[in-house]
Every structure is written in structure tokens, then in C-alpha cells.
Amino acid sequence: MTLGMEAGMSAVTIGRAHWLRLGRVKDVGLGQGRCFKVGDTQIAVFRPREAGLRATGAVCPHRAGPLAQGIVGRDTVICPFHGYRFSLVDGRGLDNDFSVASYRVEVRDGEIFVELR
Ligand code: FES
């Protein structure tokens, strides 16, 4: 285990891209999000009911609400603190001027991989 990673996480380099293996897809509830802490960074992985996985920064830029605990739609999450909406596609605020990081996420053999930039 690398310093700053939770148990079950690992860093992987594929080609020139650096990925983090965060855990198993089944550990993120359908229609929910989950926060993964990687050092000082918190990444929210969302599993919309409609399709696939999405990943964004986990801390709402308004007042640090936990986005992984928000209401997950097809392509949006609603912050549980004050209801601001964010795109799960690119992290931009949909009804506000804030934005969160968005991450490329893939599933390989049932495991969640998020690309680091
Ligand atoms: S903390 Fe997220 S909307 Fe206020």
C-alpha cells in the first residue's frame, strides 16, 4: 500500500497514463456515490442508475459539502448541504459558478480505475 492510500488502493501506470485502482464497483451502491481518500485528495465515485461510473472531486467548492452523499442523477449530483447541482460529466456547476475536478474513470475486471493528471 502506498502512503496516503486506503487499503485496497494501488497506483498503476498503463502506457503514459497513471491510474489509481480505488476498489470494487460493487462497493459503490447503485444510484449512490462513495468518497475515496488519496493522500490530501478526496475523489467521489458515482454510480448512476442509468449507466456507468463517474468521478469528481468529493468536496463541494461552496462550503465543503460531501458530494458523494449527494443525490445522484444520470449526469448530475446535488450537494446535500445547500442543493447546488454539479455535472458528473465535467464537474461544472449547473446552477452556480463553482466547479469540481472531474476524472476519467474506467472499470476493469470489476475494479474502479481513476486517471490521475
Ligand atoms: S456546500 Fe455544497 S451547495 Fe453549499
Q: Provide Rg for the chain, Cα atoms.
A: 13
Structural domains present in the chain: 10-116 (2.102.10.10)
pTM of the model: 0.91
Evaluate: CB of 49 within 6 angstroms of ligand 1: no
Evaluate: CB of 84 within 6 angstroms of ligand 1: yes
Query: pLDDT of 38-74, one tens digit each?
Result: 889 999 999 999 979 999 999 999 999 999 999 999 9
- Contact indicator for 59, 70 with CB cutoff of 8 Å: no
3-state secondary structure 6-52: CCCCEEEEECCEEEEEEEEHHHCCCCEEEEEEECCEEEEEEECCCCC
Evaluate: CB of 62 within 6 angstroms of ligand 1: yes
Task: Give distance in angstroms: CA of 32 to centre of ligand 1.
Answer: 18
